[in-house]
Amino acid sequence: MKLDATTARAIAERIAAGERHTAIAEEFGVSVETVGAIKSGKRWAAAIDDDLRARMQSASPPVVLDADGARAVMAALEAGSPGKAIAEEFGISPSMVSAIKQGRAWAGLDPDLSGRLASGPRQGKALVAAQVAEIKARLAVGRSQRTIAAEFGVSASTVRAIAQGKTWAEVAAADSGDVAPGGG
């Protein structure tokens, strides 16, 4: 969906109402990262007045991650979801996602997680094979390299190198049924 100022303000109102970013993104047909960028002011800042911006910033209560939440974060990491998207979905900081991934937090729940995530070749900004397969699938259905790069928190040149087979050539694209054309 192409955003306009009215839609950006509607998204901001939903953020201010305390709705989860994933639900907002799904309803408006945008990525969770886009919702986060509206909240942070990186996108559509001119469309959001100071009062609405203040309400958005105060609408995020602190989140306490319990063991079930940590297990769900681990499952999302193993599925290859980008750390930024996981952080948004669970309402935790990207640094907490990183700590879980590296075994510095909640390691007792799954002591082998960091080893499993690190297995296989890695290039660029900490991509795992499952993420590369997803990137290749999104490229195959016509997603732009710039959009994919933003979704995975890597540079466009990283996605371009994957597309050209310069890196991660040994990884096949995920099944196209797993990726909706134009969707995430």
Shared domain check, 48 and 18: yes
Residue 137 and residue 170 share a domain: yes
Residue 184 lies in a domain: no
**124 within some domain:** no
Tell me how far apart the alpha carbons of residues 72 and 76 are, in angstroms, rounded to a whole number: 6
- 168 and 135 together in one domain: yes
Write out pLDDT tens, residues 9-29. Answer: 999 999 999 888 878 888 999
Judgement on whether residues 141 and 99 belong to the same structural domain of the protein = no
CA–CA dist 94, 31 (Å, integer)? 17
- Cβ count near 99 (within 10 Å): 15
**Would you give the distance in Å from CA 59 to the centre of its chain?**
20
Spatial separation of the C-alpha atoms in residues 79 and 129, rounded to whole Å = 10
Q: Number of folded domains in the chain?
A: 3
- What's the confidence (pLDDT) of residue 48? 93
Same domain? For 81 and 45 the reply is: no
At which of 80, 96, 118 does a domain end?
A: 118
**What is the domain range of residue 162?**
129-178
What pLDDT band is residue 1 in, cutting at 50, 70 and 90? low
Model confidence at 183, pLDDT cuts 50, 70, 90, reads very low
Same domain, 11 and 42: yes
The answer to the question of residue 183 being in a domain is no
Within this chain, do residues 134 and 152 fall inside the same structural domain, yes or no? yes
Query: Could you count the other beta carbons within 10 Å of the beta carbon of residue 172?
Result: 12
Judgement on whether residues 48 and 90 belong to the same structural domain of the protein: no
pTM of the model: 0.40
Higher pLDDT, 63 or 166: 166
Burial of 128 (0-12, 13-18, 19+ CB in 10 A): buried
Q: What is the mean pLDDT of the chain?
A: 83
Dist. CA 40–CA 81, nearest whole Å: 21
Asked if 103 and 111 touch (Cβ cutoff 8 Å), the reply is yes
pLDDT in tens, 51-79: 998 898 887 655 678 888 899 999 888 88
What is the DSSP annotation of 121-180? ---TTT--HHHHHHHHHHHHTT--HHHHHHHHTS-HHHHHHHHTTSS-TTPPPPPGGGS-
Tens of pLDDT, residues 106-125 = 888 888 887 777 654 444 45
